[in-house]
Chain A
Amino acid sequence: MKELIEILKGLHPDVDFENTTTLIDDQILDSFDIITLITEIDSVFDVQIPAEEIVPERFNSAKALYELIEELLEDN
């Protein structure tokens, strides 16, 4: 989780990623951020997030995103 928060902070240093649950709904992350995030996750966690998982429920909070990473790691 710490590594994920670091990636997110790299995109928007001023956002409280530990507690925010509306990253997509409030347009804090845009589509460019999402792609950068996915490529960073790929290089740090070695996990490829497929396009069908790019939905608000998965990206609205760091917690939800981390759960997705864990699910994909498990599948691998």
Chain B
Amino acid sequence: MLFTSYGFIGFLAVLFVLYYLIPKRFQWILLLLGSYVFYTLASPKYMLYILATTVTTFYAAKYIGRLTVEQKKYIKINKETLTSEEKKTYKAKIKTVQKKWLIGTMLLNFGILAVAKYTNFAIANLNYMFEATGQSFQLSFWNIALPMGISFYTFQSMGYLIDVYRGKYEAQNHLPKFALFVSFFPQLIQGPISRYDDMSKTLYQEHSYDQNTVKRGFQRILWGYFKKVVIADRLLVAVTTIVQAPEVYDGVFVFIGMLLYAYQLYADFTGGIDITIGIAQVFGVQLKENFQQPYFSKNIAEYWRRWHITMGTWFKDYLFYPISVSKPMLKLSKFSRQKFGDAIGKRIPVYLATLIVWFTTGLWHGSSWNFIVWGLMNGIVIILSLEMKPFYEWFHGKFNVQHLWYFKLFQIIRTILLMSSIRMFDTYRNVPLTFKMFGTMFTRFDISDLWNRDLMGFGLSLGDYVILFVCLIVLVLVSTIQTRGSVRDWLSQKSPVFQYAVHYALILALLVFGAYGINYDSSQFIYNQF
């Protein structure tokens, strides 16, 4: 069920009315039922996957949490009699058992994800190797559908398990409540990847109908739909046209396609997250923000702190830090310091962990080489920018341009261009082709192509371009206001007439300019496939 389908809007309307009609203590149960209905409608067999993750994570976390409580109790009771050596041994014994449960559950759940998502990728690579070594043997592909949202809910559940293991908070002792945390339907499609300690504050609470909260939720939903159906789905036509005919659209058109995709992906993903957070807010549930005006970032590291924030922090907390400070990595660092000196030695753990994390981030996005190369390119650019730091510091000290608006604008445009060119691996979905098309931007760039050849060939009319241009200005304005505060706060201070005018303008824009016409079919969200 697509967020943009009429069926989903109907489903949401029914759930919303029931939510505020039933006794408040049943509200979270309704959300759980709604989430399971939503998931079952996608495909009943998917339920087995999400149930397996829910049940295994719940019981493992419960057991790990219980051991922590028992350990504290035991040490407290025997405080006087235990020596510090005995305490240490006892703690180590408990930690070993907890670690076994943690690793076992993680292997099982990441194993399910790996089998469902990467089996055919592994088969394709093996077949390629067989062919390259002259063997006629070929493995046949496995007919397996990727369960909806599996990358998101697996990461969310494993984050919870690790947090309980680390003693960050106590385990949830109620299986259906935990099931809601894993399956909360608005975030199943494309995240955000929530943390249990954040989300549980409002997820299980009893919520009275609050007109202001509900209004703000609907405003956010409306804004998300606007970005999705007026902007992203319109741009999809042009981007697909350019990408699917690389022999026709090279040179300057590759550059145009690259920028259009940057615009499309932003509208699609942030629009989807606006809808998600808005729906949660309508039910009184607070979700973490996933974006913070990413296209205003001045460098790539900052961009990744402001784009898909919950995924970035997940990888940072549960992969980057544990790898970087692991015993083998610290040993490697010591060894390299002795062997190559301090300057190289201290770089090795950071750079190695960065590349591992970005390789995994690429793999998380999709089971194909283009995503892996995309991830590694991000890692390489981040490492290069770290190496360039002394130069930047020298440059800024010498020329003192950092505070100038045009220098900031230059940094922003540079970051957008850099990110957009790396993202070409995502658009062309083929590594050699991406390098080739990137090359044509320099070797066959002819600006006169823009007026000599038919721009309307992208499948868009002049009217579409006008709409997209106006929307771009609106997005930049809204993002600029957002850097100073909430747009909805600003709107709520305006007169009711002005507020209604804005709401109606958005609805009207959706109905009139939304990509719902005969030639359009509202598309799946890009991040749904991950």
Contacts and interface: CB of A to CB of B under 8 A. Distances in A.
Interface string B329-347: 0100110010000000010
Interface stretch (B39-47, B318-326, B438-446): B318-326
A43 B62 CA distance: 37
- Chain B: interface size category: 20 to 34
B166 interface: yes
A35 interface: yes
Given A31-B316, A50-B325, A39 B167 contact: no
A34 B320 CA distance: 11
A31 B346 contact: no
A31 B330 contact: no
Interface string A37-58: 0111011000011111010000
Contacts of A39: 330, 333, 346, 349
Given A35-B325, A36-B350, A43-B337, A48 B320 contact: no
Contact of A30 (B301, B321, B333): B301
A36 B346 contact: yes
Contacts of A34: 321
Given A32-B386, A35-B353, A48-B327, A42 B333 contact: yes
Contacts of B166: 51-52
B168 interface: yes
Interface in A15-44: 30-32, 34-36, 38-40, 42-43
Given A30-B301, A48-B325, A35 B350 contact: yes
A72 B334 CA distance: 19
Contacts of A32: 350, 354, 386
Interface residues of A, number: 18
Contact of A35 (B168, B301, B324): B324
Contacts of A43: 333-334, 337
A35 B327 contact: no
Nearest to A74: B84
B325 A54 contact: yes
A31 B320 CA distance: 9
Contact of B325 (A30, A49, A75): A49
A42 B167 CA distance: 23
Contacts of B330: 38-39, 42, 48
Nearest to A43: B334
A68 to B, nearest CB: 13
Contacts of A31: 316, 320-321
B297 to A, nearest CB: 13
A75 B85 CA distance: 10
A2 B283 CA distance: 52
Contacts of B301: 30
Interface of B: 88, 166-168, 301, 316-317, 320-322, 324-325, 327, 330, 333-334, 337, 346, 349-350, 353-354, 386
Interface of A: 30-32, 34-36, 38-40, 42-43, 48-52, 54, 75
13 contacts: A30-B301, A35-B320, A35-B324, A35-B325, A35-B353, A36-B346, A39-B330, A42-B333, A49-B325, A51-B321, A51-B322, A54-B321, A54-B325
